[in-house]
A and B are shown apart, each in its own frame.
Chain A
Amino acid sequence: MSQYREIPYTDELLSDRSVHRRFADGREEWRRRAGDRHVEWRDNFGRAGVDEVLGQRVIKRTYATGQVVYGRDQGYGRTAWNDGQMTINRSSFRGRTGAIIAAVGAGALLGAVIAPPLMMSGMEEEQLRQQAVQQPTSGGDGGGDDAGTWTNDTNDDTDDDFG
């Protein structure tokens, strides 16, 4: 883990649904969604590019200059990049500022960082994309109309709503 330079950042959602991302090293990014799997960004150093989710938690960052960097999400907001950076998402999460930071601490204890790919051929990338399409990550919440919707609000005997 020590081989990665840690760079925390925080996200701020702007009113037009785009995101202002501030990195601890002074870089600032303005990110805008472009479809389901792509995010376009510009930063305060005049650079721009596109991030793409490939699948298997691999992210491909393509700069406008054509340079490509790969990263791999490690969970708990941490992303390891093959240029030696470890970015850490420190945004408040659903109004709980401490939650993700505490979770990142827990995540650090989990140990081994799975290294991001150094290089990928176009075919390998396509393979990851196909896999991601075949197994969608979230199954939706499905309504949740099981018995729990009516029974879970109390313990059996107590009529206490604040439990």
Chain B
Amino acid sequence: MRAAERAGAPGRIRFTRRQLYYELCRGLRPVQRLPRRLRVTPRPAVGYERFLAALDAHGPVPGLLTGDRPAPVAALHDDVPDLYDYGLPRLLVCQDPEIAGMLLANELHMESACPVFALRDLPLDPRLTAALQRTPDAVVHVLHDASTAGYAAVADVVRWAGDVRVHPLGLRPVHATALHLCTTAAARSAVFAGGGLPALAGGLEPWELRWLGAGRAVEVAAVGPARLLRTVHRLVRGVTRNRRRPALRRQIRAAGFMTWPAA
């Protein structure tokens, strides 16, 4: 199973069964090499059940997360009385509990100082909510699938977050098509809940809305584990790599007598 090696590269990333499954599909049909302009999202090459059966036959795979998710870390720290007295600048809510577990297993919460929760963990400890509200620019990031269910999840988080800003990280259909991710195996049979998209799907291009409206769905798990980690690290910290340098040059050109130093 070379897919397992690729999923863990570089450097022993822990991944979920579904991520391994999509990695296998990528190996069988390397459409990700197509140019990004083509809006291609392939169907999976093999069924998920067949994959699970093969996985059982194969035996243990290094790096594969089998359990649901590690025990909540917060419980360990409850002996620190002033833990919740601090502000909390950001928080990540994942639609898929397995992805939340995967991000935790890869210690995203430690590296990016961003607690990770699954959608089903909501509502969170009120002390956490208070910590968020204490920070002026706090953001709740949402990592959701590119599907109507994904945008419904965003709407749920917005309802919970109240006046805290919510930032949907994606996947948007534009991400899914640019990366040529596999559509979800079950998506075709998923019932499209005819009530139209949640209001939050505003900001999407018309073709993206049509794409969602056709009942297509791409899971976050379909993103390569390494790319997922890298992107989430970058997005929750608000680092925009592609825009940084031109912005600096533009700012230098625009600098003048009334320019205020940044720091």
Contact = CB atoms under 8 A, between A and B. Distances in A.
Interface of A: 11-13, 19, 33, 39, 51, 53, 57, 59, 71, 73-79, 87, 89, 91, 93-96, 99-100, 103, 107, 137, 141, 143-154, 156-157, 159, 161
A77 B186 CA distance: 58
A119 B61 CA distance: 78
Contact of B175 (A74, A103, A107, A151): A151
Contact of A79 (B169, B230, B257, B263): B257
Contacts of B261: 11-13, 19, 91
Contacts of B231: 149-150, 153
8 tightest Cβ-Cβ pairs between the two chains A and B: A73-B256, A147-B178, A150-B175, A79-B257, A77-B255, A13-B261, A152-B242, A103-B252
A87 B258 CA distance: 11
A152 B242 CA distance: 7
Contacts of A99: 248, 252
B259 interface: yes
B12 interface: no
7 contacts: A12-B261, A19-B261, A89-B257, A150-B227, A152-B241, A153-B227, A161-B230
B258 A150 contact: no
Nearest to B262: A94
A79 B255 CA distance: 9
A89 B251 CA distance: 13
- Say whether chain A's binding surface is mostly helix, strand, loop, or mixed: mixed
B172 interface: yes
Given A149-B170, A152-B241, A154-B227, A100 B257 contact: no
Interface in B191-231: 203, 223, 226-227, 230-231
Most buried by B among A39, A71, A103: A103
B89 to A, nearest CB: 18
A19 B260 contact: yes
Contacts of B241: 152-153
A86 to B, nearest CB: 11
Contact of A89 (B32, B178, B255): B255
A144 B243 CA distance: 9
Interface in B142-186: 168-172, 174-175, 177-179
Given A51-B257, A150-B170, A153-B230, A94 B248 contact: yes
Contacts of A95: 263
Contacts of A51: 257-258
A161 B258 CA distance: 38
Contacts of A156: 32-33
Contacts of A89: 255-257, 259
B179 A150 contact: yes
Contacts of B262: 13, 93-94
B242 A53 contact: no
Contacts of B260: 11, 13, 19, 33
Contacts of B252: 76-77, 93, 99-100, 103
B10 interface: yes
A75 B230 contact: no
A119 B73 CA distance: 68
A73 B259 CA distance: 10
Contacts of A159: 9-10, 226
Contact of A146 (B33, B171, B174, B257): B174
A11 B230 CA distance: 36
Given A73-B256, A89-B259, A146-B174, 18 more contacts: A11-B261, A13-B261, A13-B262, A13-B263, A19-B261, A71-B257, A75-B254, A77-B255, A77-B259, A79-B256, A91-B261, A93-B251, A94-B251, A95-B263, A99-B248, A145-B170, A153-B234, A161-B10
